[in-house]
């Protein structure tokens, strides 16, 4: 890459690197037939040219299928990029949230939505969200507050099958 790699995520034969100048490099293994195995995504860089001491990429998050990418910026702005798209979208409903961790729904088989995800923030809050393809149909709500301003740096959840007519149960590790 032309600049230093600041962050990198790898899932299901997809690699995304965030460079120092806020350019994203996406490598999709197996897409050589389509001629798009390496893509340079510059939308974030165009909004914040050459990076800025005040605005940097904080973290990258990719779901286990390699379809959904969430980019958290230090200015508490969040961007979303679907595997089939070249242009990320700003998630307006996420404004003011600095994401430190995400727990993905491992059972999600629908590539058009993230399904239910849990988001851990830098202020000790856990939020539930779902994002549709292209950053549309975004829903987000607060589900738990740790009553500490410590960041939630790791987050995982498991779903237990419903018994009878009851709703499924979840256990969350934060």
Look up the CATH number of the domain holding residue 102: 2.130.10.10
Q: What is the pLDDT of residue 149?
A: 85
∠ CA 61-64-68, rounded to 5°: 55
* Structural domain containing residue 118: 5-173
∠ CA 51-55-61, rounded to 5°: 95
- Encode pLDDT of 66-105 as tens digits: 999 999 999 999 999 999 999 999 999 999 999 999 999 9
Report how many domains make up the chain: 1
- Encode pLDDT of 133-163 as tens digits: 888 889 999 999 998 789 999 999 998 877 7
Alpha-carbon distance of 132 to 135, in angstroms, equals 6
Helices of type H across the chain: 43-47
Percent of the chain having pLDDT more than 70?
94
Contact 7, 17 (CB under 8 A): yes
Q: What is the pLDDT of residue 136?
A: 82
């Amino acid at each position: 890459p032309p600049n230093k790699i600041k962050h990198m995520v790898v899932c299901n034969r997809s690699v995304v690197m965030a460079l120092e100048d806020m350019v994203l490099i996406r490598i999709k293994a197996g897409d050589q037939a389509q001629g798009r195995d390496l893509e340079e995504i510059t939308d974030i860089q165009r909004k914040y040219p050459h990076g800025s001491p005040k605005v940097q990429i904080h973290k990258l998050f990719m779901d286990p299928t390699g379809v959904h990418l969430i980019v958290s910026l230090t200015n508490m702005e969040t961007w979303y990029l679907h595997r089939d798209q070249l242009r990320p979208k700003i998630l307006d409903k996420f404004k003011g949230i600095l994401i430190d961790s995400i727990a993905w729904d491992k059972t999600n088989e629908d590539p058009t939505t993230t399904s239910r995800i849990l988001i851990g923030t830098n202020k000790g809050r856990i939020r539930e969200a779902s994002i549709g393809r292209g950053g549309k149909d975004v829903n987000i709500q607060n589900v738990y507050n740790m009553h500490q301003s410590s960041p939630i740096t790791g987050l995982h959840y498991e779903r237990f099958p419903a018994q009878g007519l009851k709703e499924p149960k979840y256990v969350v590790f934060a």
